[in-house]
Amino acid sequence: MIAKFKKIKRPLIITEISGNHNGSKKSFLNHIISAAKNGADMIKIQTYEPQDITLKKFDQNFKIKNGTWKGQYLWNLYSKAHTPYKWHKDAFKLANRLKIPIFSSPFSKRAVDFLEKLNVKLYKIASFEITDLDLIEYIAKKKKPIIISTGMANLTEIKKAIKCIKKYNNKITILYCVSGYPSEEKDINLNTLKRFKKLFRNFKIGLSDHTNDIYSSFAATTLGVSVIEKHFIISKKIKSADSKFSINPEQLKELKKGINKVYLSLGKEKIGLKKVEKTSIKLRRSIFAIKSIKKGEKFSKKNIANFRPKVGIGSEHYKKLIGKISKKNILKFSPIYKNSFYN
């Protein structure tokens, strides 16, 4: 699926809908429409029901202690945030009609089998599942492109997951991720992307950005990422499980516009005259007579100086010209040319 975008050189923008639909199928489908309309290159959803992720237990081990979801039991959180399996078929049909690729993060083998029936072209492995090598291997065996997020993972864990996938599939995109919901810019440490690019040279590198803004994504663009993933919500007025770290349609539109501009501004590594500078270079300084100079008279600091524009010989030759003898009479404020003096 990513191969479809081979001609696009800037980072691809993936919008993650997650649980921002708040249990409404209409809202879920509207998120797909809005994301496609406002600049997304790809749509990502999540495929699970509560039993695919956790157990229906309500003791303290299953209660979230801190952060955005503090005080909630896992079963209740995932019951509210999940995207029902029965919605998926319509979501895939809608995305196909809008001509925008859609894919998913499966959270169980059951979810993988379900997505296979929908002929999904790409899989995403969520950060929290990076150590579930059994699930990762099951996904990898499908031999489809895989995007894997690395939030919370150390280098050993990342390498183990990659090794597991590579046994069956080498089409891997690795997303640097900070699993803070939301993440603060001061905690992102985007320079880690440089290390990722060195460590995983054979794979595409991207960013899963959980900040509540788009500036980190602009910064990541300058570091050469291939993919940027952002959670997406159709309105900031909606309060959902993921709303605190999701961008709205206006931000998505600005993200697309900004990434295009940032990427274009990066250009090539080139020192020297650029095409666009050919007009400007005429405004450099050249050497002019500041008083009338007679034939046979020496050039000196008293009769020549450097001024804009570039007409005769450039100002870089000023010191070399001092002491040379004029071949002709030169009027005050006239430019000095190569044929104006004896070498």
Residue 319: per-residue pLDDT = 97
Beta 204-209 vs 172-177: how paired, if at all? parallel
Domain boundary among the residues 213, 246, 266 is at 266
d(CA 161, CA 155): 10
Domain count, the chain: 2
Buried b (16+ CB within 10 A) or exposed e, 92-102: bebbeebebbb
Residues 36 and 160 in one domain: yes
User: Would residue 4 count as lying in a domain?
Assistant: no
User: Would residue 87 count as lying in a domain?
Assistant: yes
Residues 284 and 338 in one domain: yes
Per-residue pLDDT of the chain (343 residues; tens, 9 = 90+): 555 555 678 999 999 999 999 999 999 999 999 999 999 999 999 999 999 999 999 999 999 999 999 999 999 999 999 999 999 999 999 999 999 999 999 999 999 999 999 999 999 999 999 999 999 999 999 999 999 999 999 999 999 999 999 999 999 999 999 999 999 999 999 999 999 999 999 999 999 999 999 999 999 999 999 999 999 999 999 999 999 999 999 999 999 999 999 999 999 888 999 998 999 999 999 999 999 999 999 999 999 999 999 999 999 999 999 999 999 999 999 999 999 999 8
**To which H or E segment does residue 25 belong?**
helix 25-37
User: Would residue 92 count as lying in a domain?
Assistant: yes
d(CA 113, CA 311): 74
Domain boundary among the residues 266, 288, 318 is at 266
Residue 9: per-residue pLDDT = 84
Residue 5: per-residue pLDDT = 57
User: Would residue 154 count as lying in a domain?
Assistant: yes
Residues 27 and 147 in one domain: yes
Residues 87 and 229 in one domain: yes
Residue 6: per-residue pLDDT = 57
Residues 37 and 179 in one domain: yes
Residue with tokens 């009609």: 97
Residue 2: per-residue pLDDT = 54
The CA-atom distances, in angstroms, between 189 and each of 36, 193, 203 are: 30, 8, 20
Angle (CA) 49 68 250, round 5°: 90
Range of the domain at 183: 9-48+83-266
Residues 150 and 251 in one domain: yes
User: Would residue 71 count as lying in a domain?
Assistant: no
Domain boundary among the residues 239, 266, 293 is at 266
Residues 127 and 247 in one domain: yes
